[in-house]
Chain A
Amino acid sequence: MSNFPEKKIFEEADNWIKNNKKVSLATVVQTWGSSPLGIGSRMIVSEDGNFLGSVSGGCVEAKVIEECISLMKNKKICKKIDFNVSNENAWEIGLACGGDISIYIEEIK
């Protein structure tokens, strides 16, 4: 049996929600220059900080998890986060590969 990349992520999101957890979905929606993972790469984050999947080579995951948790806490629907060199967080995060990416986060309802 062949698995499509998000199979485990989507199944697990369903499981977490069944267990009364709040879950957010993060998706790479745009990339410029070199980026570690392609457009459409996904990750899920639960309100207690559990995550599965990936949106970069580990460069921005921590920030994305933080943003997902605050999105759920503040009962927001969605947010697009851009990671690039001119970003104020560049010193903190910065993509080691020098690429820019846009990540869209949304709560799964």
Chain B
Amino acid sequence: MKLEIIRETLKNKSLKKEFALITNLINGESEIFFPGNDLSEMFSKYSEEIEKIFNLNKNGIIENSEIFVQTYKNPIKVIIVGAVDISKYLIEFAKNLNFEIIIVDPRGYFASKKRFPDTKIINKWPNEAFYEIEANSSTALVTLTHDPKIDDPALQYALKNKFFYIGALGSKKTHEKRCSRLIEAGFKEIELEKINGPIGIKLGGKSPSEIALSIISQLVYEKYKNKI
């Protein structure tokens, strides 16, 4: 492989592009594949198979060939509502787990650049913030303020847009109240089952870092369960 291809891979990742790195295992020649773009003669006859592996977000050798495909897709977007202590630990874990974190909190004193350097922060109410976020069924939502004014609109948005993961911090009691409010707002009980409340898998911990660990574990679990 040429160093140039490695540099291009790094550049494309930093520009948040989605692509595949293809290598001919016989001669070590590599090329970068972008969906819809033409490939050089050496690889073009495998275009269909390359695209198939890319769309499945997989890596592997194309059957009956010596062509290796490595897919680079953007990380899963996790929107955290609430710039609290738990969020800090979630950001730390997410760094090594290929999740992209966006923090939403209208309270400027919580969601400051000083408290969260190197993280995308949107200092707005969820309803306004979601205008700035491209979200779909591969997006996750974690609400941590347990203030209905802030959490509820975000939960409603995530339910309507069928996020693959929705988790809300709060006790069982808090969650029951939350569900009644959402039912009043027109949601069906079956829809509310999508919300993980209380949030996280049961590890038994209580500290912010332990809660963050239980949340990130649940996110990883749901990611594979939903084949995201």
Interface residues of A (CB under 8 A from B): 1-7, 10-11, 13-14, 17, 25, 27, 29-30, 38-40, 77-78, 80, 104, 106-109
Chain A residues whose CB sits within 8 angstroms of the CB of B6 once the complex forms? 10, 13-14, 25, 108
Chain A residues whose CB sits within 8 angstroms of the CB of B72 once the complex forms? 4
Chain A residue nearest to B101 (CB atoms) is A2
Q: A78 to chain B: closest CB distance in Å?
A: 4
Q: A51 to chain B: closest CB distance in Å?
A: 16
Q: A55 to chain B: closest CB distance in Å?
A: 13
Interface residues of B (CB under 8 A from A): 1-3, 6-7, 9-10, 13, 23, 25-28, 58-61, 68, 70, 72, 75, 94-96, 98-101, 118-119
Partner of B1, one of A1, A11, A80, A109: A109
Given known A14-B6, A108-B6, contact A80–B25 (CB-CB < 8 A): yes
Given known A5-B98, A14-B6, A109-B3, contact A29–B68 (CB-CB < 8 A): yes
Q: Could you tell me the distance between the alpha carbons of A106 and B25 in the complex, rounded to whole angstroms?
A: 9
Chain B residues whose CB sits within 8 angstroms of the CB of A3 once the complex forms? 95-96, 98
Q: Could you tell me the distance between the alpha carbons of A4 and B97 in the complex, rounded to whole angstroms?
A: 8
A2-B100, A108-B2, A108-B3 provided; 14 other pairs, C-beta below 8 A?
A2-B95, A4-B75, A10-B9, A14-B7, A14-B10, A17-B3, A27-B68, A29-B60, A29-B61, A30-B61, A39-B58, A40-B59, A77-B28, A78-B25
**Pairs across A and B, CB under 8 Å, 13 listed:** A2-B95, A2-B99, A2-B101, A6-B9, A10-B9, A14-B3, A25-B6, A27-B70, A29-B68, A38-B59, A40-B59, A78-B28, A109-B2
Q: Could you tell me the distance between the alpha carbons of A109 and B64 in the complex, rounded to whole angstroms?
A: 27
Q: Could you tell me the distance between the alpha carbons of A51 and B44 in the complex, rounded to whole angstroms?
A: 34
Cross-chain contact A29 with B98 (CB below 8 angstroms): no
Chain A residue nearest to B69 (CB atoms) is A40
Chain A residues whose CB sits within 8 angstroms of the CB of B10 once the complex forms? 7, 10-11, 14
Q: Could you tell me the distance between the alpha carbons of A27 and B48 in the complex, rounded to whole angstroms?
A: 23
Q: Could you tell me the distance between the alpha carbons of A11 and B13 in the complex, rounded to whole angstroms?
A: 12
Chain B residue nearest to A9 (CB atoms) is B6
Q: Could you tell me the distance between the alpha carbons of A106 and B28 in the complex, rounded to whole angstroms?
A: 7
Chain B residues whose CB sits within 8 angstroms of the CB of A17 once the complex forms? 3
Q: Could you tell me the distance between the alpha carbons of A107 and B68 in the complex, rounded to whole angstroms?
A: 16
